[in-house]
Amino acid sequence: MKLSTNLNHLDTLLDFERLQHELQSMQASRAQTPSKAYFDNQDTASMVTSWTEQNNVHIMLGSYLDVLPNNTRASGGILFHRLRHCLQSLPRLTAESHKLNVILQSQRWEICRSLMILFNWYQTVGPETAGALMAIHQLGGYSSLKTRSPMFADLVDHIIQFVFDSQTKWRE
């Protein structure tokens, strides 16, 4: 990703109106007392599986209704079965909706935090670290850098060698 793209994402995530709306949404969801099903340990894969199964039941019942005449005992039974199925699944679907809201809010927070860390690296930490590492290499060479900052020594030395070789080739 380009820095400009990251900055655009950061602008979007830090939009005041969006943050206000997010805060109000979070406060509203906290104000509601969640049902016991809200705390069930269910992963997103099993949620998707249950949604698929529910959809299949609705498709099957709908296909029966398409071929049966209206206002018959059979169509009435299927309509009642469909109603009962919906009523049984609504508490679970509502709980899953709350879980998904928490997941989405958490995901947006993690994206925002990552973009802020990237921005901080590009603006401050990266340039300061690069400057300090180059100064160590310039004053004491590779061995000094290897002693003081072994994690970056090979990378910095490689960069310096690349820049030196590039300048030498450019001058020729």
| pLDDT tens-place string over residues 30-43 | 666 565 555 566 67
Q: What does the mean pLDDT of the chain come to? A: 84
Q: Compute and round to an integer the Cα radius of gyration of the chain.
A: 30
Q: 70: pLDDT confidence band, cut at 50, 70 and 90?
A: confident
Q: 166 in a domain, yes or no?
A: no
pLDDT at residue 91 in the model: 84
pLDDT at residue 66 in the model: 86
Angstrom CA distances, 21 to 15, 17, 18, 157, stand at: 10, 6, 5, 49
Say what the pTM is. Answer: 0.53
Mean pLDDT of 129-142: 92
Q: 78 in a domain, yes or no?
A: yes
Q: 57 in a domain, yes or no?
A: yes
Q: 163 in a domain, yes or no?
A: no
Q: Which residues constitute the domain of residue 75?
A: 3-124
Residue 61: closest CA among 90, 93, 85:
85
Q: 159 in a domain, yes or no?
A: no
Mean pLDDT of 167-171: 86
Report residue 140 as tokens: 């004491």
Burial class for 47, CB neighbours closer than 10 Å (0-12, 13-18, 19+): middle
Mean pLDDT of 9-14: 74
Mean pLDDT of 73-85: 85
pLDDT at residue 153 in the model: 92
Count how many domains the chain has: 1
pLDDT at residue 105 in the model: 84
